[in-house]
Amino acid sequence: MDTRPGSAWQRIHISGAVPMPYYRDKSRIAEDLPNDDTWIIAYCACPHAASDSVINHLRSLGYKNTGVIDEGILKWIDMGLPVVAGKDKINRIIE
């Protein structure tokens, strides 16, 4: 889960990450997210402020299998790990 603004996700993100901007209406953050044994991992571009905000909200809703990529996507890229560009469906996902 990419908690940066949708425009940042559109430019580049970790493959498989869905955009979930930290400023999204809190009542909609859990929409379409499984609350089972599926792990939900979030990241942002800062060390973890935005991703912590989203994950802490999910935890308050009872999501147990959650985590944050410390140091975010910038460290991910520095480590040479793969990233991809966004898709045209971004507006449907973050509205």
Give pTM, 2 decimals: 0.84
- CATH superfamily, region 6-94: Rhodanese-like domain (3.40.250.10)
In the predicted structure, residue 92 carries a pLDDT above the cut 60: no
Grouping H, G, I as helix, E, B as strand and the rest as coil, residue 67 is strand
CB atoms within 10 A of CB 95: 8
Q: What's the pLDDT tens digit per position in 59-71?
A: 999 999 999 998 9
For the stretch 6-59, pLDDT in tens is: 999 999 999 999 999 999 898 888 988 999 999 999 999 988 899 999 999 999
Residue ranges per structural domain of the chain: 6-94
Helix, strand, or coil here: 41? strand
